[in-house]
Amino acid sequence: MLKFIGKRLLMMIPVLLGVIILVFTIMFYTPGDPARIMLGAGASEEAVQQLREEKGLNRPYFVQLGDYIKNIVLHGDFGESFQTGEPVLNEILERFPTTLKLASLSVLVSLIVGLSMGILSATHQYSWIDKFATAFALLGVSMPSFWAGLMATILFSSILGWLPASGSYGWKYWILPPLVLGLHSAASIMRMTRSSLLEVIRQDYIRTARAKGQSERKVIVVHALRNALIPVVTVVGMQFGVLLGGSILIESVFALPGLGRLIIGAIGKRDRMVVQGGVLFLALSFSFVNLLVDILYAYIDPRIMSQYKALNKKKKKVSKNV
């Protein structure tokens, strides 16, 4: 298994390199001259030219790209902010915990709500619970999270006055954002759990379990659920990407000092390096979650575990033959 993880990590490298190149290229061709931005509109043309020289901004695209990659790979250096002159990594690391907290809490919310509603509606197919959960899921999937955030603010802050509307100064500020952000994913997870479980319940091995005299609750929990989980895990992995994207909006709605707001702020100020670094960081976390999902598959399904192991063996044989 460790070998598989190692191999999988190696496979991530070209993809992440590609992401760096892609994001760098997009931002490189963004209109606006970084040197001019740093010095402000009033600065003289000579001063701007000198700064360009100093920062290496007038070098060709490939040289700058090579430099950027080299600095990241060798020194973990994501460059400096044009705006503040601070290392981008510092700014990112300062904001990242907030985003991570928001995303993890939202995943937690969506898992708890999505799984339990999915299980309930599959085991009570066509009942009112099922109908309610299905309706909830359809609404949840359709509701833009930032609008849900605004509506929740109106209801809980402005009308009821129970919770603060924005900021991050204590646990009360961390109730609405994850709920609102997790809602959409909860709906997707619920839908997948329901359909996957309904599919599994019809399988022969469920009948075998019932024929053993197992209680219905245990048939679901012990036999059906684990088999139904694989497509659900896939959805959770994909939803993490949606959550990361959505966190940008939710951080904006609730004024949370996370990576998303850093990126949006930097876009407004044309601070290329910060945007690049932030996007890379989010893409990197998404890739790690996908790796986690792949590993999780193996622990849920022994067939996938043997596939992974077979993969390693095959490679070994080939290398021996060579």
Partner 1 sequence: MANKHFLEIKDLSIHYKTDSGLVKAVNNLSLNLDKGESLGLVGETGAGKTTTALGIMNLIPDPPGIIASGEIFLEGENILMLNRQEMRKLRGNKISMVFQDPMTSLNPVMSVGKQIAESIQIHEKLSKVEAEKRAVDVLEMVGIPGERFNEYPHQFSGGMRQRVVIAIALACKPDLLIADEPTTALDVTIQAQVLDLISNLKREQNTSMILITHDLGVVAEVCEKVAIMYAGELVEYGTLDDIYNHTKHPYSIGLFASIPNIYSEEKRLTLIPGLMPDPTDLPEGCSFCSRCNRAVEQCKVHNPALVETDPGHFVRCIHYEEGGAL
Partner 2 sequence: MSRRKRASIGTSSSHSGYWANAWGRLKKNKSAIVSLILLILMILVAIFAKYVSPYPYDLQNPAEAYQSPSAQHWLGTDNFGRDILSRIIYGGRISLFVGFFSIFFAIIVGGILGAVAGYYAGKIDNILMRTMDILMAIPGLLLAITLAAAFEPGLRNVIIAIGVAEVPFYARILRSSVLSLKEQEFIEAARCIGASDKRIILKHIIPNCLAPIIVQSTLGMAGAILSVASLSFLGLGIQPPTPEWGSMLSNARQHILNYPHMVVFPGLAIMLTIFVLNILGDGLRDALDPRLKD
**What is the contact surface with partner 2 in residues (CB under 8 A)?**
14-16, 18-19, 22-23, 26-27, 29-31, 138-139, 141-144, 146-147, 150-151, 153-154, 158, 195, 198-199, 241-242, 244-246, 248-249, 252-253, 263-264, 267-268, 275, 279, 282-283, 286-287
Q: What residues are paired with 87 via a beta bridge?
A: 80
Rounded CA gap, 186 and 118, in Å? 9
Binder of residue 222, out of partner 2, partner 1, none (CB less than 5 to 8 A by kind): partner 1
Does the protein bind partner 1 through residue 215 (CB under 8 A)? yes
Binder of residue 210, out of partner 2, partner 1, none (CB less than 5 to 8 A by kind): partner 1
Does the protein bind partner 1 through residue 67 (CB under 8 A)? no
Does the protein bind partner 1 through residue 213 (CB under 8 A)? yes
Rounded CA gap, 252 and 245, in Å? 12
**DSSP per-residue codes, 109-165:** HHHHHHHHHHHHHHHTTTSHHHHHHHHHHHHHHHS-HHHHHHHHIIIIIIIS--S-S
Is 108 or 222 the residue whose CB approaches partner 1 more closely? 222
Does the protein bind partner 1 through residue 303 (CB under 8 A)? yes
Is 166 or 312 the residue whose CB approaches partner 1 more closely? 312
Does the protein bind partner 1 through residue 302 (CB under 8 A)? yes
The tokens describing 125, both together, are 């197919």
Is 1 or 26 the residue whose CB approaches partner 2 more closely? 26
Rounded CA gap, 182 and 110, in Å? 5
Binding mask 225-244 for partner 1 (x = CB under 8 A): -xx-----------------
Binder of residue 226, out of partner 1, partner 2, none (CB less than 5 to 8 A by kind): partner 1
Helix (H) or strand (E) holding 88: helix 88-123
Distance in Å, CB of 302 to partner 1, minimum:
4
The three-state secondary structure class of 80 is: strand
Is 84 or 195 the residue whose CB approaches partner 2 more closely? 195
Asked whether 243 and 219 are in contact (CB, 8 A), the reply is: no
Query: Measured at the alpha carbon of residue 289, what is the angle toward residues 286 and 293, in degrees to the nearest 5?
Result: 140
One-letter amino acid at 51 equals L
> CB under 8 A: which stretch of 22-30, 74-82, 175-183, 302-310 binds partner 1?
302-310
Rounded CA gap, 27 and 66, in Å? 15
Does the protein bind partner 1 through residue 222 (CB under 8 A)? yes
**Class of residue 14 by CB neighbours under 10 A (exposed 0-12, middle 13-18, buried 19+):** exposed
The residue among 170, 173, 177, 166 whose CA lies nearest residue 108 is 177
The residue among 264, 233, 273, 269 whose CA lies nearest residue 110 is 233
Rounded CA gap, 322 and 309, in Å? 20
Is 170 or 213 the residue whose CB approaches partner 1 more closely? 213
Is 70 or 131 the residue whose CB approaches partner 1 more closely? 131
Distance in Å, CB of 156 to partner 2, minimum:
12
Does the protein bind partner 1 through residue 289 (CB under 8 A)? no
Rounded CA gap, 316 and 322, in Å? 10
Rounded CA gap, 238 and 240, in Å? 5
Is 39 or 150 the residue whose CB approaches partner 2 more closely? 150
Distance in Å, CB of 80 to partner 2, minimum:
19
Q: Residue count at the site for partner 1 (CB under 8 A)?
A: 21
Binder of residue 306, out of partner 2, partner 1, none (CB less than 5 to 8 A by kind): partner 1
